[in-house]
A and B are shown apart, each in its own frame.
Chain A
Amino acid sequence: MSSPEPSTPPSPSRRLTIARAMAEAIGQEMDRDASVLVMGEDIAKLGGVFGTTTGLLDRFGSERVRDTPISETAFIGAAVGLAASGMRPVVELMFVDFFGVCMDAIYNLAAKQSYFSGGQVQCPMVLMTSVGGGYGDAGQHSQTLYATFGHLPGLKVVIPSNAHDAKGLMLAAIRDPNPVIFMYHKALQGMGWLGTVQRSITDVPECDYVVPLSKARTVREGRDITLVGLGLSLHHALDAAERLAREGISAEVIDLISIAPLDREAVRRSVGKTGRLLVVDDDYLSYGIGAEIIASVCEAGIPLRAAPVRIAHPDIPVPFTPVMEHFVLPDADKVTAAALTLMEKQTA
């Protein structure tokens, strides 16, 4: 069957997982800009253990898509040098938990390059890295470490909650003149063995577009309480908001998107309206994103109708056994319960 008319696809037109959206963005930018290249462990032939570079080796060849030895020290250090020499490397740190062996390149070299050279040498590199647990991979493969990276000046740190944002953030990250840590949550990649939140698989335009690296987004409007999440925890917040709605509570939900810089104004605007704040974070509790957001609201003198609350992973390594792991990880039940308690505690 053939038709002279161009077929109009029914809506929704085309859906991608976050993994595929990341690979598409990198491929489009490699087409557009010959200085973009990709390096990492199992990113070439395998296409990335989390699917982030699928198809790139076949399209661009082994000069620009390079499997590296298992030495993050070497290839992430090399990326800083490449970036200083006019290339735009995208490197994958397979698990953020492995940052220890390459942190000097990240925070002492990449993050400070522009500052130390008076802007004469920049560092346009993207470090993409998987975060998060929930699938029994224990304490060295399950951390998120948002705050560890967000704490360090000179790094932009982002995490998408859906495929649309993943593509736009990746294009923005590669074009940024300074280092961007592009985190992606394993539970949102569309890899079966990790489970996938269906809501993260979204329509993705085939065209070129960017999502700003520094902006949060209100993804659900509400009046009574502000729920702030990022990556997977954004989905816990959205699930909780649906349940709260059935209890007659109108929750506003903010997708942080950017860990650094933090869009403090977006949170302040929302809490200024609702007077209540609950932050949902799957990083370690102390000195974390929840603390930073609550401080940002309190510093601005936003009137609160109840004490702000943060949910996070307790200050212990992520447990291995699923029973213990799921006991400590945030989920929609915990967010709903915390929100209900917060609503009851309101001051008269």
Chain B
Amino acid sequence: MTDVVVPAGLWSETDEAAISSWFYAEGDMVSAGAVIAEIMVEKTSFELLAPASGSLHIAVAAEVPIAAGDVVGRIA
């Protein structure tokens, strides 16, 4: 089980961030390094990469505010 963590240091902490879309659905197989979601911050997008290969569990849905360090999913 590997946590999917929002990367730190990419944008100012005062900016509002949210996942704009998950590219995979709950339970889908993903491979390590694949882009699994996009994070939107002030009209700029950042990639969220799979930290491991396996089955994706989504913990935080799209369009919910998130911050660096948040666990937004797990890969088992």
Contacts and interface: CB of A to CB of B under 8 A. Distances in A.
Interface of A: 7, 9-17, 46-47, 49, 51, 54, 190-193, 195-196, 198, 201
Contacts of A198: 21-22, 25
Contacts of B53: 9-10
Given A10-B29, A196-B62, A190 B20 contact: yes
Contact of A193 (B20, B29, B34, B44): B20
B3 to A, nearest CB: 18
B62 A12 contact: no
**Overall SS of chain B's interface:** strand
B2 interface: no
A12 B23 CA distance: 11
Contacts of B44: 46-47
Nearest to B62: A192
Contacts of A16: 23
A191 B20 CA distance: 5
Closest 10 A-B residue pairs measured CB to CB? A192-B20, A9-B31, A10-B29, A15-B23, A190-B21, A196-B21, A192-B40, A192-B63, A201-B23, A192-B18
Contacts of B22: 198
24 contacts: A7-B31, A10-B30, A12-B24, A12-B28, A12-B29, A14-B34, A14-B35, A15-B23, A15-B35, A17-B23, A49-B43, A190-B21, A190-B38, A191-B20, A192-B18, A192-B20, A192-B21, A192-B38, A192-B40, A192-B62, A193-B20, A193-B40, A196-B21, A201-B21
Which residue, B18, B28, B31, B62, has most C-beta atoms of chain A within 10 A?
Answer: B31
Interface of B: 18-25, 28-31, 34-35, 38, 40, 43-45, 53, 62-63
Nearest to B40: A192
Given A10-B29, A10-B30, A201-B23, 16 more contacts: A7-B31, A9-B31, A9-B53, A10-B53, A11-B29, A12-B29, A13-B31, A15-B24, A15-B35, A17-B23, A191-B40, A192-B18, A192-B38, A192-B63, A195-B63, A198-B22
A198 B62 CA distance: 11
A195 B22 CA distance: 11
Given A10-B30, A46-B43, A192 B19 contact: yes
